[in-house]
Structure 1
Amino acid sequence: MRFLHCSDVHMTADYPSLPMRPLGWRRWLAMFEQTVGGRRKAYARAPATLATIAQDARRWGVDHFILSGDVTQYALEPEFVLARQALGELAEDPGRCTIIPGNHDVFTPGSHRSGRFARHFGQLLHSDLPEHQREGAFPFVRLVGRDAAVVGLLSARVPVVPGIASGFIGAEQLEGLAAVVADPRLEGRALLVVVHHAPFTPGGGADHPLHRLRDAKALIRLLRGPRFAVLHGHIHHRYHLPATAERPHVFCAGSSTQAGREGYWIIEVKEGLVVGGRQHVPGGPHTPAAAEAHA
């Protein structure tokens, strides 16, 4: 079985053309990142790149498409619309597609209160095992074929101020995930657990305090060995940490639409185990864009 994993696609509205007052102070502060930080230029072609990645999912004949958060730049309505348009019919079918929110998709209290992410992607929060849901829709479980299941977790929280980008899953969702892992109906299936924040950096350590997944250790304790994989984004570098007896596979999709760093993972599952993955560039030939990364 094949899974396409991308992340941090950051659809970006035309901020200079928008009235400043409705944007709010959080986005005003973030405009420095857009201009001086170069984000506006880096994601100018993000909608076209995401559309190409969606087309690649069909070309590769993948069994399931996964986007692990940060669909938008700063959670504006036009940015969610751009993402839906780029993904097309793929975003209509929970049997083929999983998308979870990232911290940029709940960038303001207003975007969170209004349920902006769910308004555009709530159809993908359906669970095949709803009895395990604990915090709203999460964790949700998607059964894929006979050999795999995708589990969606929520780690994205509204930041107190821009620049604080840490997240947490929370005790309720972790208890639900433990129930998923122990569910006999999932015996013999690989579990691909999708969360936005990174449990490990490329070197295998913890992320810095303002950016990290705060309950990463509790997550990893539940998922050990090659039956499990954690798929995440948040760190804009693509890497793979192979499974050991003490941890699952960890795949970071980086920022799949960032200019000069475009790409995604094709992850392979066989007989209930995650057997590896290869990086690919959007629209590229059906050969690996690079050897499997381990750091």
Structure 2
Amino acid sequence: MRFIHCSDVHITDDYFALPLRRLGWRRWVALAELTVGGRAKRYARAPHALSAIAREVQRHTADHFILSGDLTAYALDSEFRGAREALGSLADDPRRCTIIPGNHDVYTPGSHQKGRFASHFGHLLESDLPEYRREGAFPFVRLVGTEAAVVGLLSARVPLTPGLSYGVIGDAQLEGLAALLKDPRLDGRAVFVVVHHAPLTRKGQADHWHHGLRDAQALLRLLPGPRYAVLHGHIHQRYHHPATAERPHIFGAGSSTEAGHEGYWLIEVAGGQVLGGQPQTPAL
């Protein structure tokens, strides 16, 4: 079986064509990142790149597509619409597609309270084993064929202030995941756990306190060995830490649509094990 994993596609609206009142103060702060920081330029062609990655599912005859959060720049409704349009029919089918929100998708309290992510992608939060949900839709489970399962977790929280982008899964979801992993319906399946924040950096270390996954070690302890893989985004670097006897594979998808760094993982599963992955560049 083949899985395509991408992340941090950051579909970005034209912020300077929008009323400042509509943006709110958090996005006013973010305008510096868009302009001086160059984010708007780097993601100007993100819809085109995301559409190209969606087409790669057909080219590789992949069994499932996974996007581990940050569909948007700063959680505007128009950006969610743009992401949905770029993905096309692929995003219509939970059998083929799993998407979770990232911290940029809950960038403001209003975007979270209005359920903006769910209004566009809520149908992809359905679960084949809903009895293990503990926090809203999470964790949700998708049984893929006879050899794999995809589990979606929520780590993205509304930040107290821009600049704080750490993630927390929380005890409730971790308890639900622990119970799920004992379910005999997962026996013999490779298990992909999708979370936005990185359990480990590219150097194999914990991320900074203001940016990292606070309960990373609690997550990794539940997933020993090559049967398991954690798929994440957030860190805009593409890397793979192979599994050990005590730890799962860890795949960081990088930022899949950033100009000059477009790409994704093509991950192979056989015999209920995650075999590894190959980084791919889409045909733009």
TM-score in terms of structure 1 length: 0.96
Q: 2:281 aligns to what?
A: 281
Deviations 1:244-283 (A, max 9, x none): 0111000000000000111000000001000010000011
| Residue 220 of structure 2 is aligned to residue 220 of structure 1 | yes
Shift in Å at residue 85 of structure 1? Answer: 0.3
Deviation at 1:151, TM superposition (A): 0.2
Tell me the CA shift for residue 227 of structure 1.
0.2
Q: Residues 3-60 of structure 1, C-alpha deviation per residue, up to 9 Å, x if partnerless?
A: 0000000000001111111100000001100000000000000000000000011111
Amino acid in the other structure paired with 2:69? G
> How far 1:112 sits from its partner (Å)?
0.1
After superposition, give the CA deviation of every residue in 1:50-85 in whole Å (9 maximum; x if it has no partner). 000000111111000000000000000110010000
Partner of 2:132: 132
Determine helix, strand or coil for the equivalent of 1:143.
Answer: strand
- Matched AA of 2:159: P
Is the partner of 2:185 in helix, strand or coil? Answer: helix
Aligned to 1:82: 82
Residue 115 of structure 1: aligned partner:
115
Offset of residue 219 of structure 1? 0.1
Q: Which deviations, in whole Å up to 9, do the C-alpha atoms of 1:156-199 show, x marking residues without a partner?
A: 00000000000100000000000111111111000000000000
C-alpha separation between the residues in 2 aligned to 1:91 and 1:56? 14
Question: Gapped runs of 5+ residues in structure 1?
Answer: 285-295
| Counterpart Cα distance in 2 of 1:59 and 1:262 | 17
* Structure 2 residue identity aligned to 1:158: V
Partner of 1:24: 24
Could you tell me how far apart the structure 1 residues matched to 2:268 and 2:10 are? 26
Corresponding position of 1:153: 153
**Distance (whole Å) between structure 2 residues aligned to residue 204 and residue 272 of structure 1:** 25
Which residue does 1:265 correspond to in 2? 265
SS at match of 1:259: coil
Equivalent position amino acid for 2:254 in 1: G
Q: Give the distance between the partners of 2:111 and 2:61, measured in 1 at CA.
A: 34
Supply the AA of the counterpart residue of 1:140.
F
Deviations 1:176-227 (A, max 9, x none): 0001111111110000000000000001100001000000010000001000
Q: Aligned partners of 1:224 and 1:13: how far apart in 2?
A: 41
Structure 2: state its 5+ residue gaps.
none
**Match of 2:37, as an amino acid?**
G
- State the alpha-carbon separation in 2 of the partners of residues 271 and 133 from structure 1: 27
Amino acid paired to 1:227: R
1:7 and 2:17 matched: no
The alignment's TM-score, normalised by the length of structure 2, stands at 0.99
Distance (whole Å) between structure 2 residues aligned to residue 255 and residue 246 of structure 1 = 28
1:87-106 equivalences in 2 (<5 Å): 87-106=87-106
Identity fraction in percent? 70
State the shift of 1:128 in Å: 0.2
Aligned residue for 1:269, secondary structure, equals strand
- Letter aligned with residue 50 of structure 2: L
Query: Distance in 2 between the 1:202 and 1:92 partners?
Result: 33
Give the SS at the match of 2:239. strand
Supply the AA of the counterpart residue of 2:181: V
Secondary structure (helix, strand or coil) at the match of 2:9 reads coil
* 1:151-230 to 2 correspondences below 5 Å: 151-230=151-230
Rounded Cα–Cα distance in structure 2 between residues aligned with 1:3 and 1:17: 38
Runs of 4+ in 1 over 4 A off after TM superposition: none
Structure 2 CA distance for aligned equivalents of residues 36 and 57 of structure 1: 35
1:67 aligns with 2:64: no
Which residue is equivalent to 1:246? 246
What is the number of residues matched between the two proteins? 284
Q: Distance in 2 between matches of 1:174 and 1:209?
A: 20
